[in-house]
């Protein structure tokens, strides 16, 4: 019997970079949220683990795979194997947690079939800083490198959201390296809506400097009725939140008509 799981697109409603650490990582505070769509994974029990990739963005994944899906299976040993089909709908190196979301979906599939070990969060973090949050795929605040999580009730759950990417990959490393090193302060306190509105993404400026198309996407979204427009993660994807689904749908139609070359996805916050 096949099981399916969605790898929910991750967005950072706010991302505050506080300092560079001696180990090369950055100390940050971020507000994670998740959209109700993303990649799609199908799992069937088999003798040995195997991974097959299809979908629009499958050609952009390394076939020899440091594929994070295979690595996630590797850190969760089981008596039986899983044959995974990954439908890759999210762009790669896009600030939407695509690979981390895929790994998070694997953890949830294994939880349903075999249960997770007590140290699942450590195993998830070994795959990437966003992976523990993507396993939860629920609103949470991340601290440290993003792995120290605090789940939060969200007053933005169900908010219509539009995701736009200029189809330009934006690797994380160069963006963090271009951060100016200025600590602009912690996340605001209060409900999720306040943190999101009063927060910021400290990587937006360096990402735009490296990839001016991000600025074009933000400008296009700001011309719509969105009440919050921001870049997600280290880019290049950006998002807008709306008060009503009709506003989001109008924005989707307008941007699709003006920039058919951009990737665009509509949904709502989980």
Which residues does the annotation mark as catalytic?
10, 130
| 3-state SS, residue 70 | helix
No. of H helices and E strands in the chain?
A: 9, 10
- What distances in angstroms separate CA 266 from CA 227, 237, 246, one per listed residue? 15, 13, 11
Paired strand residues for 54: 87
What one-character DSSP code corresponds to residue 222? Answer: H
Number of residues that this document lists for the chain: 270
DSSP H/E element including 254: helix 245-258
Burial of 172 from C-beta contacts in 10 A (0-12 / 13-18 / 19+) = middle
Paired strand residues for 144: 28
Paired strand residues for 84: 43, 51
Q: Cα(267)–Cα(270) distance, rounded to whole angstroms?
A: 9
Paired strand residues for 86: 41, 53
Q: Cα(16)–Cα(184) distance, rounded to whole angstroms?
A: 8
- What distances in angstroms separate CA 107 from CA 21, 39, 172, 196, one per listed residue? 29, 14, 23, 28
Terminal-residue alpha carbon distance, the chain: 27
- Tokens encoding 82: 């899983």
């Amino acid at each position: 019997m096949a099981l399916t799981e969605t790898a929910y697109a991750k967005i950072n409603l706010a991302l505050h970079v506080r300092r560079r650490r001696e180990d090369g990582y950055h100390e940050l505070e971020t507000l994670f949220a998740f959209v109700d769509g993303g990649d799609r994974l199908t799992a069937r029990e088999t003798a040995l683990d195997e991974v097959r990739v299809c979908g629009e963005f499958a050609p952009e994944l390394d076939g020899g795979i440091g594929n994070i899906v295979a690595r996630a299976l590797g850190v969760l040993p089981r008596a039986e194997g899983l044959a995974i089909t990954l439908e890759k709908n999210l762009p790669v190196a896009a600030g939407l947690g695509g690979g981390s979301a895929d790994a998070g979906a694997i953890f949830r599939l294994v939880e349903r079939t075999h249960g997770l070990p007590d140290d699942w969060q450590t195993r998830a973090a070994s795959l990437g800083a966003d992976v523990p949050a993507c396993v939860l795929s629920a609103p949470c605040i991340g601290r440290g490198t993003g792995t120290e999580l605090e789940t939060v009730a969200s007053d933005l759950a169900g908010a219509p959201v539009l995701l736009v990417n200029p189809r330009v990959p934006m690797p994380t490393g160069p963006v963090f390296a271009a951060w100016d090193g200025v600590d602009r302060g912690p996340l605001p306190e209060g409900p999720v809506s306040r943190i999101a509105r009063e927060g910021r993404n400290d990587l937006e400026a360096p990402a735009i400097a490296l990839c001016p198309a991000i600025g074009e996407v933000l400008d296009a979204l700001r011309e719509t009725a969105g009440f919050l427009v921001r870049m997600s993660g280290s880019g290049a994807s950006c998002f807008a939140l709306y008060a009503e689904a009709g506003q989001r749908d109008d924005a989707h139609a307008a941007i699709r008509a003006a920039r058919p070359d951009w990737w665009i996805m509509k949904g709502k916050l989980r």
